Chains A and B, each alone.
Chain A
Amino acid sequence: MLGAFVRAFRTPDLRNKLLFTLFILTIYRLGSVIPAPGINPDAIRQCLQGAQTEDTTGLYSLVNLFSGGALLQLAIFALGIMPYITASIILNLLTVVIPRLEALKKEGQAGQAKITQYTRYLTVALALLQSTSIIAMARTGQLFQGACPPSSYMPSEDLLTLITIVFVMTAGTCVIMWFGELITERGVGNGMSLLIFTTVVAVFPSSMARIWSEQSPWIFAIICVAGLVLIAGVVFMEQAQRRIPVQYAKRMVGRRMYGGSSTYIPLKVNQAGVIPVIFASSLLYLPQLAIGLLGQDSDNPVVDFLSTYFGPTGTHPVYMASFFALIVGFAFFYVAITFNPAEVADNMKKYGGFIPGIRPGRPTAEYLDFVLTRLTTPGALYLGLIALLPMLALGASGASGNFPFGGTSILIMVGVGLDTVKQIESHLQQRNYEGFLR
């Protein structure tokens, strides 16, 4: 394990990539502690300490998770990559609905580049929208649930300062987007997911320290062990895959012999990754946004209904049930979008491949569909359970609301971590293979 690290740093190419990635991540973390102009950092810190004693699963928990706590500090990178994620989700859903986008997606690389460009434009628009709404919430004091007077952390309230903050936050989101692309291009791993990874991990030490100071050592130990077991379980489930054997027929093209190899199609149990959880949480965040917009204490029946069933604490059984159902539904939906059995079967037929015992063409597609559906069922249930876990823990114990191993964060940590390690490994293998031949 350590040897691999040493080897990774001995390879000059890989070392540069790793250092570049670390450098960008450091700048990103630095930017998320610099407060936006017109914000008093000391006052904010005091407000945070006051608010943290209340529940942590508050209104902006998910958004705050994706910004690594930068949102509640109103930093220049306050929005994090949330706008980019939202934009990608929206465009992903729209590809199913809008025929033009679907055509672009089928075009391959060029079309994909165009869709990426649309995502970027949408990100800027969303960033503008979100920063405006956050500033509006901060000004009315809603950001800290009224625990703190807004005049303390926003000393100057003139329009110029507010507009400047909105501009700065929007530009910050763009810079983050660029960072992500830079890491993808010149660093190791996928930039966007690495940035999410850092933000998720960044909140970890502080929440662990809080548990250490608030609870007895025994509870701390139990939480640590539970977290480790959970991580191991998630790794196990993420790696689980079914390999469907594929045999390629030998064929002669001119004097060369092609094919004749037997490979397999890996079908993961959790083919969709964390995306269903993120979809579901962003959808369930909408009612809370509506409550915030309509005003918390109006006697509007809609607000009343929303706040009883979909309130900010999110521990009502109806909320949990709909969260679970949404995750399961989205898992199937997303797998259906990303893996098209008919297309795979068609491609296999074209290159003379077949699954032993099954005819090529439509029977293969039907078989793949059957296997995939059967495989996704436990995968989707597992995703839902993992995501519900913090809420269940919250409901069961009541007091220990600050369980740091939230389902979404563990899924993200494990998923991104595994992916990055795999990429580093493939880089290493390239090197070693070369050295071996020499």
Chain B
Amino acid sequence: MVLGLSIVLMICSVLLVLLVLLHKGKGGGLSDLFGGGVTSSLGGSSVVERNLDRLTIITGLIWVVCAVVLGLLINRGA
């Protein structure tokens, strides 16, 4: 059980990293961190981005649930 969940969690983590990296990066780095100019990004999100968002949210939910359940299992077991 623990082994299986761990593997699922790891796969989810890798997927999550990949999905986030697939998103187009918004925000121009450090210069507009902490009070830079106003960067207005015109144009709505494309279909690809919207599907990516959906996938990321689903993966993220599975990831969180797995993490919590696994944590409970390990703590109960020990």
Contacts and interface: CB of A to CB of B under 8 A. Distances in A.
A89 B31 CA distance: 10
A274 interface: yes
B38 A426 contact: yes
A121 B23 CA distance: 12
A215 interface: no
A238 B20 CA distance: 34
A163 B2 CA distance: 13
Given A163-B10, A190-B32, A155 B74 contact: yes
Interface string A99-140: 000000000000011011101110010000000000000000
Nearest to A40: B75
Interface in A261-293: 273-275
B16 A112 contact: no
A185 interface: yes
Interface in B20-44: 20-21, 23-36, 38-39, 41
Contacts of A156: 74, 77-78
A175 B20 contact: yes
Q: Secondary structure of the B side of the interface?
A: helix
Contact of B56 (A163, A178, A192, A338): A178
A180 interface: yes
A174 B25 contact: no
Contacts of B48: none
A37 interface: yes
Contacts of A190: 27, 32-33, 36, 39
Contacts, number: 143
A123 to B, nearest CB: 9
Nearest to A75: B67
A419 B13 CA distance: 34
A426 B40 CA distance: 12
Interface residues of B, number: 42
Query: By CB atoms of chain B within 10 A, which of A40, A89, A168, A273 has the most?
Result: A168
B54 to A, nearest CB: 13
Contact of A181 (B12, B26, B63): B26
Interface in A287-329: none
Interface string B41-78: 10001000000000010001001100110110011011
A175 B35 CA distance: 23
B58 to A, nearest CB: 13
A96 interface: no
A187 B2 CA distance: 38
Interface string A22-56: 00000000010011111110000000000000000
B71 A36 contact: yes
A415 interface: yes
A89 B34 contact: no
A34 B20 contact: no
Contact of B17 (A124, A274, A415): A124
A417 to B, nearest CB: 10
Contacts of A116: 25-29
Given A124-B17, A156-B78, A175-B20, A119 B35 contact: no
B28 A423 contact: no
- 10 closest Cβ pairs, A-B complex: A155-B78, A171-B13, A88-B30, A37-B70, A116-B25, A37-B71, A167-B13, A174-B20, A273-B34, A419-B35
Interface of B: 2-3, 6, 9-10, 12-14, 16-17, 20-21, 23-36, 38-39, 41, 45, 56, 60, 63-64, 67-68, 70-71, 74-75, 77-78
Given A38-B70, A89-B30, 6 more contacts: A88-B30, A117-B25, A160-B3, A167-B13, A171-B12, A274-B34
28 contacts: A40-B78, A115-B29, A116-B25, A116-B26, A119-B25, A120-B20, A120-B25, A121-B21, A160-B2, A160-B6, A168-B9, A170-B13, A171-B12, A174-B17, A174-B21, A178-B20, A178-B56, A184-B27, A185-B26, A185-B41, A185-B45, A191-B27, A192-B33, A196-B33, A273-B34, A275-B34, A415-B35, A423-B38
